[in-house]
Chains A and B, each alone.
Chain A
Amino acid sequence: MASLDDLKKRIASVKSTQKITKAMKMVAAAKLRRAQESAERGRPYSEKMNNMILNLSGGISDKENAPKLLSGTGNDKVHLCIVMTSDRGLCGGFNSNIIKKAKSYFLKILNEGKELKIITVGSKGNDQLKRMYGDKIIENVSFKESKNANYFDADKVGKIIIEKFENNEFDICTIFYNQFKNVITQIPQVHQIIPLNNQDNEENTSEESYEFEPDEDEILSNLLPKNISTQIFKAMLENSASEQGSRMSAMDNATRNAGEMVDKLTIEYNRSRQAAITKELIEIISGAESL
């Protein structure tokens, strides 16, 4: 049985931990609101971009010579996976969920005998994947310095991807990120960005014919690289909202658990204090009786 002093110390330490988790929860809540807002504000851009590409690709006359970013290289041998995680820990299952999803996808690809290349965005993902897939990781990008997700960072990642694509380093590119649903739920997403997957788009291709200036091909080849960056940016925004949400609920849980622990320890402390007093009393009384 722990001594009274030990119990006292433990209670104090749990209490201070609780203070920290509580503060982290507050911070995450404040950041979450901001991240959520910017995720919502960023949506029109990617939606419009998507629509335009749909309209454009519908209008393309020569499917054979369509840009490779749209139609693919015709192979599916080399897969590039972009795993987007956070730079900081203590956010519950946020990073592990993405990693789990990514790992099962990696396994599938490797079982099919295809080549796998990985780019990790965010240091936590890199840490977790390094052990198993260290030789497959070709690049690690991390934006520790930037406070919020911004477009220039996304553009950097996009440029890396496009450069690699133009050097024929891969055929298919997939991104992994967490989609923000609400504070408690974040859904890990697998999304193929090269070649562009048109199947999951709704039927909003208009019949209307557009005038193009210059021609379709040139616009498309200009638009598609932009779209890659936009998709990455969208994933970054969703990710940062999810990260804060996940951290918030994790810290909420931690605070609650610490509270429960303090209660339990206090009861134990009081009991042993009472036991010590009773023991002393018995000793005094039996000492007096024996006189």
Chain B
Amino acid sequence: MSEGFKIEIINPEKSFLVKENVSEVVIPAYEGEMGILKDHISIISFLKPGIIKISSKSGDENYYVEDGIVEFKNNNLSILTSSIFNIADIDKSKKQDLLKRAEEESVKVEISDQSKYLIDQKIDVLKTLN
């Protein structure tokens, strides 16, 4: 039995990332950041905008997500998301672009409190990235 567990990140277009033997994953769950280790209890939760941090022997990887659903079961972590970016891959202008779009959205009047909260969250995260 290996020491780690398996993580799978899937977006609608393809299987984004599959990785075995991950020691820890930190996800931005809806009610706060959550660290998942091996043999975590089965859980389903969804994500708010934030950073997924995957730690394994080969080092850490960071991904920026905007939404998604997480399921952990039998040492299998599946993350379904429609928007995910590897932080190492996105350059400054892309980050600025995302930030600008989020800021534009946040000034709209008709959005509900809940989506307002999510957008503010998004802006915060993007600001820390820049």
Contacts and interface: CB of A to CB of B under 8 A. Distances in A.
Interface of A: 38, 41-42, 44-46, 48-49, 52, 55-56, 150-151, 154-155, 206, 208-214, 219, 222-223, 226, 230, 233
Given A49-B80, A155-B82, A219 B12 contact: no
Interface residues of B, number: 22
Contacts of A233: 12
B84 to A, nearest CB: 12
B96 interface: no
Interface string B13-37: 1110000000000000111001000
B69 interface: yes
Given A52-B71, A213-B45, A226-B69, 11 more contacts: A42-B14, A48-B71, A48-B78, A55-B44, A56-B44, A210-B42, A211-B41, A211-B43, A212-B45, A214-B31, A222-B69
Contact of B13 (A52, A55, A150): A150
Contact of A45 (B11, B29, B34, B44): B11
B46 interface: yes
Contacts of B82: 151, 155, 226
A41 B43 contact: no
A45 B11 CA distance: 6
A230 B68 CA distance: 13
B43 A230 contact: no
B73 interface: yes
Contacts of A214: 30-31, 45
